Amino acid sequence: MTIDTGKVYRLEDYRASDYRIDRTTLAFRLDPDQTRVTATLDIARRDEAALDAPLVLDGDGLKLISVSLDGTQLSPDRYQASPDELKLEGLPKGAFTLTVETELAPAANGALMGLYLSNGVYCTQCEAEGFRRITYFLDRPDVMSVYTVRVEALRAAAPILLSNGNPVESGDLGDGWHYAVWHDPHPKPSYLFALVAGDLGLLSDRFTTRSGRDVALGIYVERGKEARTPYAMDALKRSMIWDEEVFGCEYDLDVFNIVAVSDFNMGAMENKGLNIFNDKYVLADEETATDADFSNIEAIIAHEYFHNWTGNRITCRDWFQLCLKEGLTVFRDHEFSADMRSRPVKRIAEVRILKALQFPEDQGPLAHPVRPRRYREINNFYTATVYEKGSEVVRMIRTILGADVFRKGMDLYFERHDGDAATIEDFLKVFEDVSGRDLSQFALWYHQAGTPHVSVSAAFDEARGELTLDIEQSVPPTPLESRKRVMYIPIAFGLVGANGADIEAAAVEGAVVENGVIHLKKRKHSVRFSGLSERPAISLNRGFSAPVTLSCEQSIDDRLFLARHDSDEVARWQALNGLLTDHLIKASKSQQARSNIAPRLAEVLGDIAGDDTLEPAYRALALTLPGEADIAREIGSDIDPNAIHIARNALIDTIAAANRESFQALYARFEESDSFSPDAESAGRRALRNVLLDYVSAAGATPDRAADQYRNATNMTERAAALAVLAHRFARTQAATAALADFENRYGNDPLVLDKWFQIQATTPGEGALSRVSELMNHKGFSIGNPNRVRSLVGTFASGNQTGFHRADGAGYALVADAILDVEKRNPQLAARLATAFRSWRSLETGRQALARKELERIAATHNLSTDLKDIVERTLA
């Protein structure tokens, strides 16, 4: 574990390295405790560098065996070596070859960075700075090298030997050993290096690119799980076609392999030609995976594949530019899923995720710009801001320039920067060049943290047929940035007439308005629309065109009208969601004063549920009330999670009671009839039925229906939803206990499925969840060393259980803090991620605030904290 040194990295300190490493030849002799790595590096000094520049290679906890220069072993006085650095001086003036031997213990690597063993499979994770845990290197993304990798292993332990690029040769070495050599012709940064060796099952297939390259596709999984790979393979092939058709990007090697491993710190990794995945995002069949799993798999397979161009062919100059590849690639995977599924439903899901994950980040102590300017630990910047807001920024570029100009810009980006380690400035420049526009004000989206707020007030002059929108923007202060500049915000809008159709205004003044988008560039705009024959309802931020919070003075009647009739489905959902949220905020603040809007909301929801002209998936989203955390975020201060829980449940009961018969009938009508298909439409029907199950099980209903659905389920989507209803609404009843026991019994040996059982119990509302979570941490299926298990149980409890984690006595905080400190001993990255659950602690009411602070301070005071955890905890407390 790297103990914190306090070092801060700053964007303005960037300078190119003094040396290049043009070729990297690696030889691995694999052993769980003593793996030998021989790295042969062809190095040359850059022309700009001083003749006597020392070569300083990065290491992280390395054990050095030997160093040779141009074939001659160096005595230790010719270099300075520590586990974290190898420094050489007095090097040849021309090119030279450095050979470095290191020894690793993959079995002891619990951080899951560098080379480690996952369930007996050797695998690597190098992004961001894991390669330096394998060998000494210029471990930075702007040092790009052509790799040749030789892997030797015992054939019995590792019959499969994989690395990046194309296979070159393989053979037997005697004594049970064998080897394989891989060569990747594309120069790449070290973070994209990968190696896998183990005994794995394979699904193979082929793909022919549009220019005729025949590509061998492979998905490697734990033996016995091959039958759960076809969906991932199908998603991969669809991604490959889509990227050719939509972005003109073709695959560029003869092989593309995906390996699923069970111990992985995040979702997946885009290593060139050898993507390594958390098995949760590969393995799926109807019995073990939910529809949410299927759609995540589709999105993540696509995301990693799309990185081949946005990330790998064009990489980042330094880690400050992370959003260059991540935001852009998220945007691409969002577009892919929108094309594969329902575009508006996908967009609403994205907005919900952005608001749930990114808004609280932007509004709390961990706020940072999409392109940060400083970091202590880069792994803590793989955030919703970099990824999701980064994607929204790319989407706004498309909204501002239009789809055609945007595509031209992307073409120019690929043409101009192929093979480069690029920057955000490079990215913006291509769009300026193809459009002739100045994007310098727009660039603030990359540089300025905080969620902008747009407030709108409207006045209609009936006599003149004029509507005036007074619009004002503000950006709240964020850590290290108290003064904010005025941003360029594109707000898509519509003026909706009484018949539900959009009305065109004859003329507009006060702002540039093009193709249904108001371009806000000043702090205040007064936008006047004239030539209106009726007073319109105003639909704002259609399609969620800008990632802002928005307030608009509007009557409840207008809002209800938009919630039913807005032609833009995203805005229609936003209108509904806004009404629900406002009601829930009021109700949670004063439980007696029932806001009289609840019956009207129940009526709208009843109508939407039964409206067969709407997609079932949309209806399911509309019926899903804002979550307790969403309501807390909107309240923003002095939060009492119990009051929110009570208010939300009361609204569910009102809606359920008002629609009891119709919901029951609909629930029966949507019963699964055909054989299972994971497509979006079928998933939408299941989603609607599952939301209805929750309503028909509320307001004093019996657990019978949920118990029936649990028993008769023909797929995991139905089964897990029924189990959640039983466990959450009927906790500790015989029905719930029996179903939980049955689930454990059926799937106890299938870790990914057991994770769902952990999650469902971790999210049981109320005080009881805590003792159950702590009991489950001793369950035989739980392991503190496995990130999926830890996230399912502890992570889900901390971020998904408002009344459990935020127990008034602070016991939830203490349990999570204990778990963080325990996890940190082996896996600092995972511990730091868990600790972000505390990020909104200052918005709590004072009692909980004090208890949360106490736990944060206890963590901060722990001796020898890792950089990862110390960075998060100190920023959270600051």
CA distance 458 to 555: 11
Return the range that interacts with ligand B3K (CB under 6 A); candidates 300-308, 524-532, 712-720, 733-741.
300-308
Residue 18, SS3? coil
Q: Is 123 in the site for ligand B3K (CB under 6 A)?
A: no
- Would you tell me how many other CB atoms lie within 10 Å of the CB of residue 647? 23
Q: Among ligand B3K, Zn ion, none, what binds residue 127 when CB lies within 5 to 8 Å by partner kind?
A: ligand B3K
CB of 545 to Zn ion, least distance (A): 24
CA distance 452 to 81: 49
Closest-approach residue to ligand B3K (CB): 127
CA distance 152 to 596: 72
Indicate the residue among 4 and 270 with the shorter CB distance to ligand B3K: 270
Contact between 648 and 628 under an 8 Å Cβ cutoff? The reply is: yes
Strands 63-69 and 72-73: antiparallel
661 part of the active site? no
Indicate the residue among 382 and 710 with the shorter CB distance to ligand B3K: 382
**Binds ligand B3K (CB under 6 A): choice among 222, 279, 285, 304:** 304
CB of 329 to ligand B3K, least distance (A): 7
Helix ranges (DSSP H) in 307-362: 322-340, 343-353, 359-362
For residue 628, give the H/E element and its range. Answer: helix 628-635
CB of 388 to ligand B3K, least distance (A): 12
| Cα atoms found within 13 Å of the Cα of residue 235, Cβ hemisphere only | 31
**Binds ligand B3K (CB under 6 A): choice among 190, 379, 788, 876:** 379
Q: Is 127 in the site for ligand B3K (CB under 6 A)?
A: yes
Residues in 687-746 at the binding interface with ligand B3K, rule: CB under 6 A: none
CB of 462 to ligand B3K, least distance (A): 53
CA distance 459 to 447: 35
**Binds ligand B3K (CB under 6 A): choice among 21, 43, 123, 128:** 128
Query: Mind giving me the DSSP string for 760-796?
Result: HHHT--STTHHHHHHHHTTSTT--TT-HHHHIIIIIH
* Phi, psi (deg, nearest 5) at residue 606: -60, -45
What is the residue type of 262? S
Residues in 307-346 at the binding interface with ligand B3K, rule: CB under 6 A: 307, 326
CB of 127 to ligand B3K, least distance (A): 4
For residue 814, give both structure tokens: 């203490």
3-state helix, strand, coil in the chain (%, to 5): 45, 25, 35
Q: Which has the closest alpha carbon to 552: 636, 649, 414, 453?
A: 453
For residue 380, give both structure tokens: 């803590």
Return the range that interacts with ligand B3K (CB under 6 A); candidates 146-154, 302-310, 398-406, 867-875.
302-310
For residue 422, give both structure tokens: 């690029």
Active site residue: 127, 286, 304, 615, which one? Answer: 304
CA distance 404 to 409: 9
Q: Among Zn ion, ligand B3K, none, what binds residue 706 when CB lies within 5 to 8 Å by partner kind?
A: none
What is the residue type of 130? G
CB of 512 to ligand B3K, least distance (A): 35
Q: Among ligand B3K, Zn ion, none, what binds residue 380 when CB lies within 5 to 8 Å by partner kind?
A: none
Q: Is 269 in the site for ligand B3K (CB under 6 A)?
A: yes
Question: Between the CA of residue 553 and those of 455, 516, 589, 731, what are the distances in Å?
Answer: 8, 20, 21, 42
The number of residues that bind ligand B3K (CB under 6 A) is 12
Q: Which has the closest alpha carbon to 698: 661, 642, 734, 649?
A: 649
CA trace torsion 316, 321, 325, 331 (10° rounding): -160
CB of 326 to Zn ion, least distance (A): 5
CB of 129 to ligand B3K, least distance (A): 9
Return the range that interacts with ligand B3K (CB under 6 A); candidates 13-21, 53-61, 264-272, 801-809.
264-272
Residue 866: strand pairing partners? 3
Contact between 111 and 255 under an 8 Å Cβ cutoff? The reply is: no
CB of 312 to ligand B3K, least distance (A): 10
CA distance 827 to 809: 29
CA distance 357 to 40: 43
Q: Is 60 in the site for ligand B3K (CB under 6 A)?
A: no
Q: Is 493 in the site for ligand B3K (CB under 6 A)?
A: no
Residues in 235-254 at the binding interface with ligand B3K, rule: CB under 6 A: none
For residue 303, give both structure tokens: 């995301």
Q: Among ligand B3K, Zn ion, none, what binds residue 379 when CB lies within 5 to 8 Å by partner kind?
A: ligand B3K
For residue 41, give the H/E element and its range. Answer: strand 35-45
Tell whether omega for the bond before 506 is within 30 degrees of 0, i.e. cis: no
Indicate the residue among 123 and 769 with the shorter CB distance to Zn ion: 123
Return the range that interacts with ligand B3K (CB under 6 A); candidates 18-26, 219-227, 261-269, 508-516.
261-269
**Binds ligand B3K (CB under 6 A): choice among 143, 266, 469, 520:** 266
**Binds ligand B3K (CB under 6 A): choice among 178, 228, 303, 368:** 303
Q: Among Zn ion, ligand B3K, none, what binds residue 382 when CB lies within 5 to 8 Å by partner kind?
A: ligand B3K
CA distance 659 to 600: 12
Could you list the residues that contact Zn ion (CB under 5 A)?
326, 329
Indicate the residue among 379 and 801 with the shorter CB distance to ligand B3K: 379
Contact between 595 and 586 under an 8 Å Cβ cutoff? The reply is: yes
Indicate the residue among 262 and 717 with the shorter CB distance to ligand B3K: 262
Distance of CA 739 to the CA centre of its chain: 31
Indicate the residue among 388 and 640 with the shorter CB distance to ligand B3K: 388
Indicate the residue among 268 and 837 with the shorter CB distance to ligand B3K: 268
Question: Between the CA of residue 788 and those of 268, 353, 583, what are the distances in Å?
Answer: 13, 20, 36
Q: Which has the closest alpha carbon to 694: 740, 727, 732?
A: 727
Indicate the residue among 329 and 478 with the shorter CB distance to Zn ion: 329
CB of 297 to ligand B3K, least distance (A): 14
CB of 527 to ligand B3K, least distance (A): 39
Indicate the residue among 130 and 360 with the shorter CB distance to ligand B3K: 130
What's the CA angle centered on 730, arms 724 and 735, to 5 degrees?
A: 85
CB of 387 to ligand B3K, least distance (A): 7
Indicate the residue among 62 and 112 with the shorter CB distance to ligand B3K: 112
Q: Among ligand B3K, Zn ion, none, what binds residue 269 when CB lies within 5 to 8 Å by partner kind?
A: ligand B3K
CB of 489 to ligand B3K, least distance (A): 27
Q: Among ligand B3K, Zn ion, none, what binds residue 388 when CB lies within 5 to 8 Å by partner kind?
A: none
CA distance 369 to 633: 20
Q: Is 270 in the site for ligand B3K (CB under 6 A)?
A: yes
Residue 317, SS3? coil
Residues in 382-421 at the binding interface with ligand B3K, rule: CB under 6 A: 382
Indicate the residue among 259 and 579 with the shorter CB distance to ligand B3K: 259
Residues in 735-774 at the binding interface with ligand B3K, rule: CB under 6 A: none
Indicate the residue among 239 and 763 with the shorter CB distance to ligand B3K: 239
Return the range that interacts with ligand B3K (CB under 6 A); candidates 8-16, 209-217, 303-311, 604-612.
303-311
Indicate the residue among 266 and 706 with the shorter CB distance to ligand B3K: 266
Q: Is 298 in the site for ligand B3K (CB under 6 A)?
A: no
* Phi, psi (deg, nearest 5) at residue 257: -115, 145
Contact set with ligand B3K (CB under 6 A) = 127-128, 266, 268-270, 303-304, 307, 326, 379, 382
What residues act catalytically? 304
